[in-house]
Chain A
């Protein structure tokens, strides 16, 4: 592996460019390089691993039991890549993917404050997942963070919340984090479970599969540990962060009764959803996945998107977890090599077969978890009007509902034009799902029918000076200087 620290070290062209160095990107890059392709693996973080294996090569957390054995599996992915000739560019953001004249792609990249355009024959987006927005009153107060954020602070810096900590939400990662933070010595005063009880009904049909799944033992262990050791409260139907200038407590409603739990940190989590900004801006088709309840890029069995030459591997194309992400990266890389003519279709199929079997096993039981931990409607579309939905532009749920009902706005793009939601620096990552949910609710239609933001490059900040330094084309000059 050749680590590139300066933008000038990048080649003009690679057979394949992979965006994101989590499990999917690491294994895609390794497999592609092993097949003899020239590979660029670009990642905006300072070290490989993505979020689940965050800081796997650099973590200061020495006691292996704190983060658990699953975490340490990530090391093998990095070791495998290190043995190849792949180019790995940390701290490198990809802000644009566009077709080039030669039938390949041109990637807009920034590293160390400088931008470059780099060509690639094939592209695999392995941009992973982000936490599902959790809009409750007060969630913008300092001291309220995602559970994932606390986990990142723990993995990459060995930091533990220092005061009274409340963890709220639902999903397997919530219990995992609770366990990790407790093992690291955090003072967890409450775990507030928002899993709707009736979810059991819809999830039940998928239970048999789950019982044969690799999740089961792990999940039950986590849950049992969390319940045993922590102040675990189920049936939470409303949450609000309280405080002025910073969080000082969380107001909890369960069983019709409301109480305030004083705290210094509130960690929120209600599952993860694909990070779709780059694929959306590149023009890849997406659909609303009704089981996982989120917008998801549409891919085929080889994780090829609607744009030939762009594949989307890992959680960025539907949540499957770290193990399945790595397998999906392998398969996408095999197909990219086939598209580049380096291996035949038969070779691809043959090499992919064992990986596919493993993939099927790793995904078994996922549906049960998706249905069981689907967030309650009131945590997807906040009922309190004053709840901020767009954190960047400070647009509230009340404004969105009013504009949808009174001004006849049917989708997020018109909402954005009227209220500025999604126009801030996060480009809708933290408000998009909620805005869609609120419009759908007001109009009595599905999120699928409501649509999603149409995004454009640059999907990550790039300065005017960086853009200006890129080579112009004659036709572009003509279009501007008239």
Chain B
């Protein structure tokens, strides 16, 4: 849905995964921007009806770009800078509580 104006230079490229798919984006992108740049439109399903949603405001207001980042659910993708090796996943409905059992 979005494309970069400039060719991604290898030196600027960060590798990450989205739902297991290997992708790259520019260092300096937020997680939400990195997903848009890779054609990802829906990044979550709502916990109410299960409807698909994608980034809407890109400025931390709407909470539509919620994703699971490195196992932590419901993170605002538009506020988190992309890092090399990040494991990003669709936020499918409700947040999972931590799995630790003391």
Residues of A within 8 A of B (CB): 44-46, 51, 55, 58, 60-62, 66, 91, 130-131, 140-146, 148-150, 152-154, 156-163, 184-185, 245-246, 264-265, 275, 391-394, 424-426, 429-430, 460-461
Please list 29 pairs of residues, one from A and one from B, whose beta carbons are closer than 8 Å in the complex, sorted by A's number: A46-B30, A51-B59, A130-B57, A130-B61, A142-B42, A142-B52, A142-B54, A144-B56, A146-B56, A146-B57, A146-B58, A149-B56, A152-B58, A152-B59, A158-B5, A159-B36, A160-B3, A162-B2, A162-B3, A245-B52, A246-B52, A246-B54, A275-B61, A391-B56, A391-B64, A392-B48, A393-B48, A394-B49, A426-B63
Q: With the chains together, A429 CA to B2 CA distance in Å?
A: 26
- Which range holds the interface residue count of chain B? 35 or more
Residues of B within 8 A of A (CB): 1-6, 26, 28-30, 33-34, 36-37, 39, 41-42, 46, 48-49, 51-64, 66, 74, 76, 78-79, 81
- With A246-B41, A246-B42 already in contact, the answer to whether A149 and B1 are too (CB < 8 A) is no
Question: Tally of A-B residue pairs with Cβ under 8 A?
Answer: 134
Q: Max chain A CB contacts within 10 Å: which of B1, B41, B52, B81? A: B1
CB-CB under 8 A from B79, the residues of chain A are 44-46, 91
CB-CB under 8 A from B3, the residues of chain A are 159-160, 162
Q: With the chains together, A431 CA to B11 CA distance in Å?
A: 42
Q: Given A140-B64, A246-B41, A264-B1, 7 more contacts at CB 8 Å?
A: A45-B60, A91-B79, A131-B57, A153-B36, A157-B33, A162-B2, A246-B54
- With A142-B53, A146-B56, A394-B48 already in contact, the answer to whether A62 and B29 are too (CB < 8 A) is no
Partner of B42, one of A51, A91, A245, A426: A245
Q: With the chains together, A425 CA to B61 CA distance in Å?
A: 9
Instruction: Tell me whether B66 and A425 are in contact (CB under 8 A).
Output: yes
Q: Max chain A CB contacts within 10 Å: which of B30, B39, B58? A: B58
Q: Max chain A CB contacts within 10 Å: which of B5, B37, B49? A: B5
Q: With the chains together, A60 CA to B11 CA distance in Å?
A: 14
Write the chain B residue with the least CB distance to A424: B63
Write the chain B residue with the least CB distance to A157: B33
Instruction: Tell me whether A143 and B41 are in contact (CB under 8 A).
Output: yes
Question: From residue A154, how far is it (CB to closest CB) to chain B in Å?
Answer: 8
CB-CB under 8 A from A264, the residues of chain B are 1
- With A45-B79, A142-B41, A430-B62 already in contact, the answer to whether A184 and B5 are too (CB < 8 A) is yes
Closest 4 pairs (CB-CB, A-B)? A142-B54, A149-B58, A142-B41, A162-B3
Instruction: Tell me whether A159 and B4 are in contact (CB under 8 A).
Output: yes
Partner of A159, one of B5, B41, B53, B56: B5
Q: Max chain A CB contacts within 10 Å: which of B26, B41, B59, B74? A: B59
Q: With the chains together, A162 CA to B5 CA distance in Å?
A: 10
Q: With the chains together, A223 CA to B46 CA distance in Å?
A: 38
CB-CB under 8 A from B81, the residues of chain A are 46, 91
Q: Max chain B CB contacts within 10 Å: which of A144, A161, A162? A: A162
Q: With the chains together, A45 CA to B41 CA distance in Å?
A: 22
Instruction: Tell me whether B51 and A157 are in contact (CB under 8 A).
Output: no
Q: With the chains together, A441 CA to B59 CA distance in Å?
A: 30
Partner of B1, one of A131, A161, A429: A161
Q: With the chains together, A62 CA to B55 CA distance in Å?
A: 25
